[in-house]
Amino acid sequence: MSAAAGAAAAPAMTSRERVLVTLGRGVPDRVPVDYQANPGIHARLKAHFGIAADDDEGLLRALGVDFRIVSVPYAGPRAHVDIPERGVKVNEWGIHTRWVEHGTGGYWDLCDFPLREADETAVAAWPMPDPDRYDYGTVRDQCRRWDAYGICLACYGDLINGNGFLRGMEQTLVDLYTDEPAGLALADRRFAIQERWARRILEAAEGRIDVLWLGEDLGTQRSPMISMDVFRRHFRPRYQRLVDLGKEFGCRLMIHTCGCSSWAYDEFIDMGIDAVDTLQPEAVAMSPGYLKRRFGGRLAFHGCISTAGPVAFGGVDEVREDCRKTLEIMMPGGGYCFAPTHELQDNSPTENVLAMYRAARDLGRY
Q: Domain boundaries in the chain?
A: 2-77+118-363
Mark the ranges of the chain whose per-residue pLDDT is less than 70.
1-10
Q: Which of 54, 47, 211, 192 is nearest to 128 (CA)?
A: 192
Tell me how far apart the alpha carbons of residues 196 and 192 are, in angstroms, rounded to a whole number: 6
Say how many C-beta atoms besides its own lie within 10 A of residue 18's C-beta.
Answer: 24
Written as one letter, the residue type at 221 is Q
Per-residue confidence (pLDDT) for residue 1, from 0 to 100: 45
Q: What is the pLDDT of residue 9?
A: 58
What pLDDT is stored for residue 6 in this prediction?
Answer: 44
pLDDT value, residue 11: 76
What letters, b where the CB count within 10 A reaches 16 and e where it falls short, cover 1-14? eebbeeeeeeeebe
269-297 per-residue burial string, b: 16 or more CB within 10 A, e: under 16: eebebbbbbbbbbebbbbbbeebbeebbe
Model pLDDT, residue 104: 86
Q: Which residues of 100-112 are buried (b: 16+ CB within 10 A; e: fewer)?
A: eeeeeeeeeeebb
Residue 357, pLDDT score: 98
Q: What is the pLDDT of residue 10?
A: 57
Contact call for residues 359 and 326 (beta carbons, < 8 A): no
Decide: 151 and 96 in contact? Cβ < 8 Å: no
3-state per-residue secondary structure call for the chain: CHHHCCCCCCCCCCHHHHHHHHHCCCCCCECCECCCECHHHHHHHHHHHCCCCCCHHHHHHHHCCCEEECCCCECCCCCCCCEHHHCEEECCCCCEEEEEEECCEEEEEECCCCCCCCCHHHHHHCCCCCHHHECHHHHHHHHHHCCCCEEEEEEEECHHHHHHHHHCHHHHHHHHHHCCHHHHHHHHHHHHHHHHHHHHHHHHHCCCCCEEEEECCCECCCCECCCHHHHHHHHHHHHHHHHHHHHHCCCEEEEEECCCCHHHHHHHHHHCCCEEEECCCCCCCCCHHHHHHHHECCEEEEEEECCCCHHHHCCHHHHHHHHHHHHHHHCCCCCEEEEECCCECCCCCHHHHHHHHHHHHHHCEC
Q: Look at residue 103 in the predicted model and tell me its pLDDT.
A: 87
CA atoms of 286 and 132, how far apart (whole Å): 39
- Which CATH class for the 2-77+118-363 domain? alpha beta
Q: φ, ψ for residue 78 (rounded to 5)?
A: -85, 115
Q: Exposure string (b/e) for 309-345, b if CB count within 10 Å is 16 or more?
A: bbbbebebeebbebbbebbebbbbebbbbbbbbbebb
Note the pLDDT of residue 366. Answer: 97
Give me the pLDDT at residue 2, please. Answer: 43
